[in-house]
Amino acid sequence: MPETTPPRYDVIAIGNAVVDVIASCEEELIDELQLNRGGMTLIDEARADELYEAMPPAREISGGSAANTLAGLATLGLQCAFIGQVADDQLGKVFRHDMRATGIDFDTPARDGEPATGRVLIFVTPDGERTMNTFLGAGQFLPAAALDEDLIASGAILYLEGYLWDPEEPRRAMRRAIEVAREAGRKVAFTASESFVIDRHRDDFHAMIEDGVIDILFVNESELATLTGEDDFETGLAAVAGKVPVLVATRSEKGAVAIAHGERAEVAAVPVIKVIDTTGAGDQFAAGFLSGYAKGEPLTRCLKRGAICASEVIAHYGPRPEADMQALMEERL
């Protein structure tokens, strides 16, 4: 159905509302705590408390994949709103403050009682690799009833976080959000987030791709292999490219590829003097790409924006940009 009203927002995202707790550590601690090095593991509150006790001195920064992407988009001057679930607790208040201070509208009501607001315990080794341990907390109880459907219909792009597809309640909410967005003639973007999510929900993801409800799909190289069952990158691209209007595949230091309506573009990774922390690299790549896509920029330029944003965030701790991103774009594009 065609759009009936101009969008109020450039991007509206649904995702986990979590606070990142980030600490530098030696390789030995990863082994000692039996962590999944370089990956993301879902944990319960007891394990979260155990890992927190074992962490070296840490810093707390509001995170969540889709929320990080919106933070990047907001610094690039786009109008954004977030839908996600926090608890009525201190971390929930911190998260809400951080989102609003970044210029993102966030009005989903807080949830009373247990569980607490989600948190991600991130161990960063000397090579900059991050090992994430996620307690979703209140975020996994985002109900469809909490959706502001008028808000969703007012966004040019609805951006969905794959991590949140795993719990049942927010998965139902996201299905409804897709319906609302498509009825309003808006675009739906989906980020796969992690291979384990694809493993658990492969049939769902394949169905959404085959049904044509995803307009923009973000994957990294390993997620593409998991989704398609193809270890060869080019074979994997070919298996998906004709089924989604826009496919974006990132390859870390090997750059990124996008295929849109039969057009292919590639960019190299932007060199970084020292990789400090890879947390948020994919989130900020998506922010850069969408900032160009929302403005109708050429595919290669959208990819360049993504590469610039990713290079900025991996040069410091934390998943959100610290530089003046609009100035950085003017300098590097």
pLDDT digits (tens, 9 = 90+) for 164-174: 998 899 999 99
Q: Are 128 and 276 in contact (CB under 8 A)?
A: yes
59, part of any domain: no
Environment class of 301 (CB within 10 Å of its CB; exposed 0-12, middle 13-18, buried 19+)? middle
Q: Taking the mean position of all CA atoms in its chain, how far away is CA 125? A: 22
In this structure, of 111-120, 177-186, 282-291, the range with the lowest mean pLDDT score is 111-120
Identity of the amino acid at 118? G
Q: What is the mean pLDDT of residues 1-27?
A: 87
What pLDDT was estimated at residue 59? 87
Instruction: Specify the residue for token string 């409800």.
Output: 213
69, part of any domain: yes
Looking from the CA of 284 toward its CB, the CA atoms found within 13 Å total 27
Question: Of the candidates 141, 122, 142, 124, which has an alpha carbon nearest to the alpha carbon of residue 132?
Answer: 122
Question: Of the candidates 107, 139, 157, which has an alpha carbon nearest to the alpha carbon of residue 7?
Answer: 157
Reply yes or no on whether the pLDDT at 4 is more than 80: no
- How many whole angstroms separate alpha carbon 35 and alpha carbon 47? 11
- How many whole angstroms separate alpha carbon 323 and alpha carbon 171? 34
Domain range for 309 is 9-18+64-115+138-332
What pLDDT was estimated at residue 29? 97
328, part of any domain: yes
Strands 18-24 and 59-63 turn out to be antiparallel
57, part of any domain: no
24, part of any domain: no
Tell me how crowded residue 243 is: count the other CB atoms within 10 A of its CB. Answer: 15
The domain spanning residue 14 has which CATH number? Answer: 3.40.1190.20
What pLDDT was estimated at residue 128? 87
- How many whole angstroms separate alpha carbon 60 and alpha carbon 179? 35
What pLDDT was estimated at residue 1? 43
45, part of any domain: no
Q: Are 27 and 125 in contact (CB under 8 A)?
A: yes
DSSP 184-226: TT-EEEEE---HHHHHHHHHHHHHHHHHT--SEEEEEHHHHHH
How many structural domains does the chain have? 1
DSSP 243-311: TSSEEEEE-GGG-EEEEETTEEEEEPPPP-S-----TTHHHHHHHHHHHHHTTT--HHHHHHHHHHHHH
Reply yes or no on whether the pLDDT at 11 is more than 60: yes
What pLDDT was estimated at residue 318? 82
Q: What is the mean pLDDT of residues 116-128?
A: 93
Reply yes or no on whether the pLDDT at 118 is more than 60: yes
What pLDDT was estimated at residue 130? 87
Q: What is the mean pLDDT of residues 251-274?
A: 95
Q: What is the mean pLDDT of the chain?
A: 94
What pLDDT was estimated at residue 3? 46
pLDDT digits (tens, 9 = 90+) for 49-77: 999 999 999 988 888 999 999 999 999 99
R_g of the chain, CA atoms, integer Å: 18
43, part of any domain: no
Is residue 321 helix, strand or coil? coil
320, part of any domain: yes
pLDDT digits (tens, 9 = 90+) for 273-322: 999 888 899 999 999 999 999 999 999 999 999 999 999 999 998 889 99
CA dihedral sign, ordered 132, 216, 294, 248: positive
